[in-house]
Each structure stands twice: as C-alpha cells, then as structure tokens.
Amino acid sequence: MLEDVFIEQQMKLHPGHRKQEIENSIRKAVQYSEDIQMPDGSWYGNWGICFTYATWFALRGLAAAGKTYHNCLGVCKAADFLLKLQLDDGGWGESYLSCLAKVERDPTPLHRAAKLLINSEKEDGDFPQQEIAGASLRTCMIHYPT
C-alpha cells in the first residue's frame, strides 16, 4: 500500500522520469494479477486468512493501477466474490480452513517435511544447529533458531 502512494507521488513529482518503463511495469503487474485470479473472482493468499485477505490486496493493487468496477473484469469478478461471501451481520469473515478447502495438495511434500522434523529432533526436544538461513539486504546474515 505504501508502494502505491510512493509511486503515485513520484509520478506526480517527476512525470516524465522513466515513464514508459513505469507504465510497462504497471501493465505487466495488472496482467499478472488478472492471470492468477481464481475462476470465482478471488485470489489465493499465501499469508493471512487466505481468499478474503488476498482479494483485498489484489484489489488495492488494481485500484492503484487505475482499474475500477467499470473498466476491469477482474474487479467485477472480485466484487461478486466478496458480495457472495458477506455474512448475515454485514461483515466478512473467513476461517483458516478455507485455505485447505479450495486447494487440493499432494500430501507427499508435507509427509517428507514431517519425517525430516521427527528424525532431526534431539532427545531433549531441541533441533541441531543449522547453517545460516539467509541474508537481508546483502549486509546481514539471518539465522532462525528453534
């Protein structure tokens, strides 16, 4: 969301700066958002409580790109999705179980991960020290202790 505001401000302050590149990036982002939209109008979220949360973020991005209910089929489909989900009390709610209900997954990777965790656990319940897990901004190494 802050990125939307930043880009809008920069485009107003410097209207000609890399205009074609920015417009191409926005066009590609809109196309990608539309390409990954689910047939029911939602987007699948890999964070938060799945579909409602992801749809909110997708709609924010499309709105920042100038897309509205009147000029974008994806926004229309998302609005229909959200209206169908609305609760009797007027609000929206979603259970974490919806993340599992809409996406069929092969359980094999989960079983492999569980087997690794079970077999790695030490007698005291801890896990052995692993190598550095990542880097942040190319200046800081990250370790996720157990």
Distance CA 61, CA 79 (A): 14
Q: List, for residues 86-143, the tens digit of each pLDDT value.
A: 777 776 767 666 655 554 556 666 677 677 778 888 889 887 776 666 666 667 776 6
> φ and ψ at 9, to 5 degrees?
-65, -45
Q: Which residues of 50-80 are buried (b: 16+ CB within 10 A; e: fewer)?
A: bbbebbbebbebbebbebeeeebebbebbee
Among 3, 60, 11, residue whose Cα is nearest residue 68:
60
Percent of the chain with pLDDT over 70: 70
Residue type, 118: I
Q: Which residue has the higher pLDDT, 102 or 66?
A: 66
Per-residue pLDDT, averaged over 42-63, amounts to 84
| pLDDT value of position 111 | 72
Question: What's the mean pLDDT when you consider all of the chain?
Answer: 79
| pLDDT value of position 136 | 62
pTM, entire model: 0.60
Per-residue pLDDT, averaged over 42-48, amounts to 79
Q: Which residues pair with 142 in a beta bridge?
A: 134
Which residue reads 């052995």 in tokens? 128
125 DSSP assignment: S
pLDDT of 30 > 80? The answer is: yes
Percent helix, strand and coil across the chain, each rounded to 5? Answer: 50, 5, 45
